[in-house]
Chains A and B, each alone.
Chain A
Amino acid sequence: MARQMTGAKMVVQALKDQGVDTIFGYPGGAVLPIYDEIFQQNDIHHILVRHEQAAVHMAEGYARSTGKPGVVLVTSGPGATNAVTGLTDALMDSIPLVVFTGQVPTFMVGTDGFQEADTVGITRPCTKHNWLVKDTDKLSETIHQAFHVATSGRPGPVLIDMPKDVQFATGTYTPPKAARTDNYQPQVKGDLEAITQLVELIEQAERPVFYTGGGVINSGPAASQLLRELVDATGFPITSTLMGLGAYPASGKSWLGMLGMHGLYEANLAMHGCDLMINLGARFDDRITGRIPDFSPRSTKVHVDIDASSINKIIPVELPILGDIGHVLEDVLKVWKARGRKVNKAGLEKWWKKIDEWRAVNCLAYTNSEKTIKPQYALQRLEELTKGMDRYITTEVGQHQMWAAQFLGFEDPNRWMTSGGLGTMGYGFPASIGVQIAHPDALVINVAGEASWLMNMQEMGTASQFRTPVKQFILNNERLGMVRQWQELLHGERYSQSWSESLPDFVKLAESFGWKGIQVSDPAELDDAIMEMINYDGPVLFDCLVEKHENCFPMIPSGKPHNEMLLAADADAFKEGATLV
């Protein structure tokens, strides 16, 4: 059933055949033929953004909250270069995206034409793969391959660059089933011998810990289900990276909380003191390991990952298992059950006692105030008042992001969207719009700092236009809080450029876009204000004026091992030490 159509029509047809219902984009000269096709159909909903970077973050939010790939359409030159931050963000956090860019006509490529940029050259290191399609006959097959590559193995962003003449020309459409995808087939089943070795380790371990990451969530809901079954059946403690929150429920009895630089005391000490570390889909990021020679020095380490290059990259492991988390966990459970569901009960009992001692330190403790809203308190109240709702959380980057990870509980995967690897300020607001588009009736909250939030504030128009009732929960300390914290602790309290000068009146700003604006500064009024935000049927800009000089603890200063965490109480002593430098 060879069908002839223009390249532009192929794009729309291929998207329909791939089951795409929503794309995020911005038109321009080099993609006008495609926009003309979009105009003439109703199956694919186009979300018009205000800046291409935001289009990519929206697609990321859409992808992470649904498990489906996010799709972006932007023009050549500046359209493509504006998308680069989003692409890099998606690459670092393994988010499946298919990004379409227009390009100058093939005969003009290389002539420095108007709005020409070497898009495949620029995006080569920030995509999983990219293509410049020069022949209309190859366009549809390339699009199907792009969806396959973006979603198979370790997911990631891919990009298709399409010169304008390729969009105008007519060619033969290749349906998805006829597209060649056999040349990229990452291994998903783990080696059974290695899995049996892992089961033996599980049976013997005295001080085990599960260290899980975004790979569990990327593997799909089944992987999270299997993880819960394994954790609950073995009774092993579990911690997670920032990216993996929600794979195991925060209310689960084996949950230690997040680990890492601002992770929980009990989680980091369990990692330091364990004798068996089972890494599931995490990548030993430098925010996790601290000083490498002192990282969990007495443990046997197992690493399950779908990406061979993540294994032994930072931390050498005794037992590597290459494969998809869901498949591997299924086999682990099968083998473990068949061998009699054994664990070292006596060892585990002692281990949990130790962990309970660490828990008793109460590392998230902070001094509350009746006069000013502490950011931690604001998040505790937000958690209390929204817990149990159909809730999705996005964040920007900084202190508020770490506090959100510490104080909000996630019961399910795909409910938490944050920029982990790249740490992109300005991610959370557009991501929240993308999430809301995918889940129109859910409560979508972006926990933000005022500085991050301003980086993509132009998307207020997008939220208004598409009636997305996103809640922007801004913890406004009029500071670049995390930068300020490092300057206080490590740079002799010289606060170089780390305050937010000339801030807008957020309530008036909200009103000017047809939003609701709420400002609150009194702790006594906080609950009512949060309820007002939740109950308002429309986008809300929530300006929560918080304590300006609050620091985020616990904290492992870089280059320090896990057992040298800094708690709030130690901060002053640390500062004195650090000013010597």
Chain B
Amino acid sequence: MAALKIKKGSSSHSAYDLRDSHSQIESSHTLAVIVDNEAGVLARVIGLFSGRGYNIDSLTVAEVDHKGHKSRITVVTRGTESVIDQIKAQLGRIVPVHEVKDLTVEGSPVERELALIKVSGTGDKRIEALRLAEIFRANVVDSTLESFVFEITGTPEKIDAFADLMRPLGLAEVARTGVAALSRGV
């Protein structure tokens, strides 16, 4: 109980402990959140992430059970194990949330994303874009003499790779849906 020696520049005299106790390794998790499709439910989920300082890398949402008015929110987030556990617990206590599944913990899930990618150009670049699209199994869904719109489906990494290749060939615009994911097996 000797007098406390506070060092110069220390934050220990602050009203809060300013040291971050969560400075460990972060990993990415894909969560599936089953919710009642009622007004404001998405705002509740997003508000939780922003209000508590969690990350959202990808977010998709749509009603998957029209009769039961249930929506599935797929959210890809990053954090340490304890933060991921906290995110799941916080999601779980939102009243219209029925279930929170951590697809990453259940085993590497099937993840797919759809993207529309517009590439403008003429000549060799245009031909090269079309050739690469074939390799990536991207479909042409719109075409003018100076542009293509490709539709591509795959993992986020595959879409990243395709977009990167298109960049020098005249990448004009990208629209992505975000990840939809299911666990493997039954």
Contacts and interface: CB of A to CB of B under 8 A. Distances in A.
Interface of A: 120-121, 124-125, 128-130, 132, 149, 153-154, 183-184, 286, 290-293, 307-309, 311-313, 316, 486, 490, 557-560, 564-567, 570, 573-574, 576-578, 580-581
B98 interface: yes
B51 interface: yes
B156 interface: no
B6 A580 contact: yes
A75 B108 CA distance: 51
Nearest to B21: A292
Contacts of A486: 15
A577 B15 contact: no
Interface stretch (B53-61, B83-91, B177-185): B83-91
Q: How large is the interface on B (under 10, 10 to 19, 20 to 34, 35 or more residues)?
A: 35 or more
B12 A309 contact: no
Given A183-B98, A292-B17, A558-B12, A311 B4 contact: no
A581 B10 contact: yes
Interface of B: 1-19, 21, 36, 39-40, 43-44, 47, 51, 82, 85-86, 89-90, 92-96, 98
Closest 6 CB pairs of A and B: A573-B3, A309-B89, A559-B12, A129-B95, A559-B17, A308-B89
A442 to B, nearest CB: 35
A424 to B, nearest CB: 16
Contact of B39 (A132, A311, A578, A580): A132
A120 B12 contact: no
A311 B19 contact: no
B40 A578 contact: no
Chief secondary structure at chain B's binding surface: loop
Contacts of A308: 89, 92-93
Contacts of A557: 4, 12-13
14 contacts: A129-B96, A286-B17, A308-B89, A309-B90, A309-B93, A313-B86, A558-B13, A559-B11, A559-B17, A559-B18, A560-B12, A570-B1, A580-B6, A580-B7
B17 A291 contact: yes
Contacts of A558: 12-17
A120 B13 CA distance: 38
B152 to A, nearest CB: 36
Nearest to A307: B93
Contacts of B2: 570, 573
Contacts of B11: 559
B53 to A, nearest CB: 13
User: Which one of B14, B89, B95 has the highest number of Cβ atoms from chain A below 10 Å of its Cβ?
Assistant: B95
Contacts of A490: 13
Contacts of A290: 17
